[in-house]
Amino acid sequence: QVRLVESGGGLVQAGGSLRLSCAASGIIFGINAMGWYRQVPGNQRELVASITSIGKINYADSVKGRFTISRDNAKNTVYLQMNSLKPEDTAIYYCNTDPGHASYWGQGTQVTVSS
């Protein structure tokens, strides 16, 4: 059974930073491309950053230069360092494979950026 557990969210002022973590179990983590997604209630979930098994990285234009995705295959963990946060970054953040597997979605972690 695949389990993805996100952590590290919280409330931060605009301009601040947060580091999200996602611990994976039940999958062969090292061979999967992983992504961080976010969703605002009423909107579609969007992919904000992804990293392949060999470290190729892509970012959504809205987060380029501010967010950094990384992974530690030995720990089955993917990270998202978020700097220079903006109120529009407020959302629930999820990790999943890229592309996302329908049955892998976890609870996510709430990120709230105050202005």
Whether 30 shows a pLDDT value over 90: the answer reads: no
**Which residues are CB-neighbours of 1 under 8 A, at least 6 positions away?**
26
Q: What is the pLDDT of residue 62?
A: 97
Whether 28 shows a pLDDT value over 90: the answer reads: no
Locus of tokens 């972690």:
109
Name the β-bridge partners of 92.
Answer: 39, 110
Confidence band of 29 (pLDDT split at 50, 70, 90): confident
Cα angle 66, 84, 60; round to 5: 30
In contact, 114 and 13? CB cutoff 8 Å: yes
Average pLDDT of the residues of the chain: 96
Q: What is the pLDDT of residue 27?
A: 84
What is residue 77's three-state secondary structure? strand
Between 30 and 102, the higher pLDDT residue: 102
- pLDDT digits 0-9 by tens, 38-87: 999 999 999 999 999 999 999 999 999 999 999 999 999 999 999 999 99
Name the β-bridge partners of 62.
Answer: none
